């Protein structure tokens, strides 16, 4: 699914006029926790951060600051940890998102000067001690930004009296190209600088959140898809220890990281595509961005369906000393309450774009499944088991269910099991409620939980619809996040009692209308795919 970005304002006056100074939008709810007064449009909020003063704007009583630098321009630090941002004089306008990281195929402003974050808060400097919600965007490690309308934090602020932070950071080769085996001492951390950007942003939050009415001792990181994978990796990075206190991942796991040998092989493939030798890394640091992005489209030999190289966190023994969730859950994060979630029909988001996948025959299914399930089991074995488990399923239903189970869901199960063995406080959910759009054929697809968790079902890009059922599920899922942030557990009055996940019960909240808790949902599918070991694709 593509990321979205707000169009930047041409002038402050035009921006404020377009923003409007309206009451509650559809779906937003006033909270009894919210105590900040709504100011007039002319009273633009001002805040002070380490590098200068910033001026934001008001949106339905919420103070919004966009495009705040948390690090310097990385064009002069390519493949190296970022430095602090340069200070500025006067008041910096913080009313439009900053540039996104360099990436291909995105309709947005991109630059190596991309270390920007956005803050949404009910009040400033009031010692409010609000929980902080720190969102990490999806798009794998390859694309995306924190600027999508779906990530707008106003409704969460209004609903739960919290501070919301979203951000951009370095991606793809610019964030995860491993040069330590080929380069000098200054490139030893190159394979994880995208993760180090996140650490730097979390330090910025710790330093500044009091200015925005938040509690630096109560930070919840949450993220979807690639954002969840980045969180799983942060949970195993010593540099991130103590910077966040709760975690929620949504359809995003990172069981294993890239090994140094595999990561170096990909680096050599990129160099070959650029017609550079290993001793010409200095040239790599000055090449145009577009050339590097084009070279990264080289086919990855470990990802047969992909048209580009995999770049992600690397087991470099400098910033990442162990795999995130192998052979066990990271001990440094055992005390952190965590929610692990997924959607029931993940792969309908991308495999559903091919109409043929909705009209498969039993004869067509084995070859289609072989290419897309990502787990090395005979497709005939998988099909036979699904027909036994679900005798009413059509070939297309088997295809979407099996590809979902054999891809991201398997990693979620492994992480939940590892946390359960550790005795760490963990809750698991599955979104069963499906989008009513397009005749409902896409079901509970990958990314559907984003507008529900943000309570943003009316935002551009949402595919939930704005009906009563969508709002009911959005209320349940956003209150889940708010409860985790405020109380360290996700239970609240609008959902059934939700026990922590255990190996005995495999308790899982199924978000639907109505929601319910079920032990070991899809247990037959879980046992089927556990016949093969799980290795995160692209990491070995």
Coil, strand or helix at 33: coil
104 occurs within a structural domain: yes
Are residue 305 and residue 241 in the same domain, yes or no?
Answer: yes
Q: How far is it, in rounded angstroms, from Cα 338 to Cα 408?
A: 18
Are residue 307 and residue 400 in the same domain, yes or no?
Answer: no
Across the chain, mean pLDDT equals 91
Element (H, E) at 294: helix 289-295
Are residue 331 and residue 347 in the same domain, yes or no?
Answer: no
Are residue 332 and residue 345 in the same domain, yes or no?
Answer: no
pLDDT of res. 184: 84
Q: Which domain holds residue 47?
A: 1-25+42-336
Residues annotated catalytic, as ranges:
225, 346, 446
DSSP 191-229: GGHHHHHHHHHHHHHHHHGGGGTEEEEEEEEEEETHHHH
Are residue 296 and residue 370 in the same domain, yes or no?
Answer: no
Q: How far is it, in rounded angstroms, from Cα 161 to Cα 222?
A: 17
Q: pLDDT for 14-28, tens place per residue? A: 333 333 322 323 333
536 occurs within a structural domain: no
Residue 134 has pLDDT above 80, yes or no: yes
**In the predicted model, what is the mean pLDDT of residues 174-202?**
96
Number of domains into which the chain is organized? 2
Are residue 254 and residue 177 in the same domain, yes or no?
Answer: yes
Residue 247 has pLDDT above 50, yes or no: yes
Using a pLDDT cut of 90, give the percent of the chain over it: 85
Are residue 225 and residue 86 in the same domain, yes or no?
Answer: yes
pLDDT of res. 306: 60
Q: pLDDT for 409-432, tens place per residue? A: 999 999 999 999 999 999 999 999
Q: Are 413 and 316 in contact (CB under 8 A)?
A: no
pLDDT of res. 375: 86
Domain termination site, one of 336, 364, 386: 336
Residue 319 has pLDDT above 50, yes or no: yes
Q: pLDDT for 116-129, tens place per residue? A: 999 999 999 999 99
Which pair of structure tokens corresponds to residue 402?
Answer: 């099996």
The CATH number of residue 298's host domain is: 3.40.50.1820
Are residue 394 and residue 310 in the same domain, yes or no?
Answer: no
Are residue 357 and residue 296 in the same domain, yes or no?
Answer: no
31 occurs within a structural domain: no
36 occurs within a structural domain: no
Q: In what order do the strands lie in the sheet with 46-49?
A: 46-49, 52-55, 91-93
pLDDT of res. 296: 95
Are residue 300 and residue 341 in the same domain, yes or no?
Answer: no
Strands 130-136 and 214-224, sheet pairing: parallel
pLDDT of res. 304: 57
Domain termination site, one of 295, 319, 336: 336
538 occurs within a structural domain: no
123 occurs within a structural domain: yes
Are residue 322 and residue 363 in the same domain, yes or no?
Answer: no
Residue 539 has pLDDT above 90, yes or no: no
Domain termination site, one of 336, 367, 388: 336
pLDDT of res. 473: 98
pLDDT of res. 183: 86
534 occurs within a structural domain: no
Are residue 363 and residue 401 in the same domain, yes or no?
Answer: yes
pLDDT of res. 53: 98
Q: Nearest 5°: phi and psi at 222?
A: -140, 150
Using a pLDDT cut of 70, give the percent of the chain over it: 91
pLDDT of res. 96: 97
279 occurs within a structural domain: yes
Q: How far is it, in rounded angstroms, from Cα 140 to Cα 9?
A: 28
> SS3 helix, strand, coil % of the chain, rounded to 5?
35, 15, 50
Q: pLDDT for 214-231, tens place per residue? A: 999 999 999 999 999 999
Residue 75 has pLDDT above 70, yes or no: yes
Selection from 390, 469, 483 nearest residue 159 by Cα = 483
């Amino acid at each position: 699914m593509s990321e979205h970005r707000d169009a930047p304002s041409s002038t402050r006056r035009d921006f404020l006029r377009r923003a409007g100074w309206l009451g509650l939008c559809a779906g937003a709810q006033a909270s009894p926790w919210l105590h900040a007064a709504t100011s007039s449009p002319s009273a633009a909020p001002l805040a002070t951060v380490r590098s200068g003063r910033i001026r934001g704007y008001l949106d339905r009583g919420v103070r919004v600051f966009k495009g705040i630098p948390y690090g310097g321009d990385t064009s002069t630090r390519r493949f190296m940890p970022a430095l602090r941002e340069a200070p500025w004089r006067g008041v910096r306008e913080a009313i439009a998102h900053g540039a996104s990281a360099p990436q291909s195929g995105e309709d947005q402003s991109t630059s190596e000067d991309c270390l920007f974050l956005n803050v949404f808060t009910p009040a400033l400097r009031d010692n409010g001690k609000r929980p902080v919600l720190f969102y990490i965007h999806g798009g794998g490690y390859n694309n995306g930004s924190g600027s999508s309308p779906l990530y707008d934090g106003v409704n969460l602020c209004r609903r739960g009296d919290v501070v919301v932070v979203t951000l951009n950071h370095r991606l793809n080769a610019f964030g995860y190209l491993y040069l330590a085996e080929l380069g000098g001492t200054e490139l030893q951390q190159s394979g994880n600088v995208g993760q180090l950007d996140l650490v730097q942003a979390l330090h910025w939050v710790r330093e500044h959140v009091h200015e925005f009415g938040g509690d630096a001792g109560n930070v919840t990181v949450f993220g979807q898809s690639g954002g969840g994978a980045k969180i799983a990796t942060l949970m195993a990075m010593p540099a991130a220890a103590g910077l966040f206190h709760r975690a929620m991942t949504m359809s995003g796991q990172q069981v294993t990281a890239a090994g140094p040998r595999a990561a170096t092989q990909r680096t050599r493939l990129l160099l070959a595509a650029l017609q550079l030798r290993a001793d010409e890394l200095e040239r790599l640091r000055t090449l145009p961005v577009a050339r590097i992005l084009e070279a990264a489209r080289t086919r990855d030999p470990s990802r047969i369906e992909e048209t580009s190289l995999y770049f992600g966190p690397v087991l470099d023994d400098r910033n990442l000393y162990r795999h995130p969730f192998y052979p066990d859950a990271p001990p440094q994060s055992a005390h952190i309450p965590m929610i692990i979630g997924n959607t029931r029909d993940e792969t309908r988001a991308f495999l559903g774009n091919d109409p043929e996948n909705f009209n498969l025959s039993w004869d067509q299914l084995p070859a289609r499944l072989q290419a897309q399930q990502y787990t090395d089991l005979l497709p005939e074995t998988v099909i036979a088991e699904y027909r036994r488990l679900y005798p009413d399923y059509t070939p297309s239903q088997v295809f979407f269910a099996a590809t979902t189970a054999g891809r991201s869901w398997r990693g979620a199960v492994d992480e939940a099991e590892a946390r359960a063995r550790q005795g760490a406080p963990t809750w698991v959910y599955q979104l069963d409620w499906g989008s009513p759009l397009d005749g409902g054929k896409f079901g509970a697809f990958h990314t559907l939980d984003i507008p529900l968790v943000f309570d943003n079902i009316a935002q551009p890009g949402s595919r939930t619809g704005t009906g009563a059922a969508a709002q009911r599920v959005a209320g349940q899922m956003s209150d889940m996040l708010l409860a985790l942030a405020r109380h360290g557990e996700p239970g609240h009055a609008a959902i059934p009692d939700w026990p922590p996940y255990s190996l005995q019960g495999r308790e899982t909240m199924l978000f639907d209308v109505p929601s319910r808790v079920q032990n070991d949902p899809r247990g037959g599918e879980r046992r089927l795919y556990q016949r093969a070991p799980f290795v995160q694709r692209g990491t070995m």
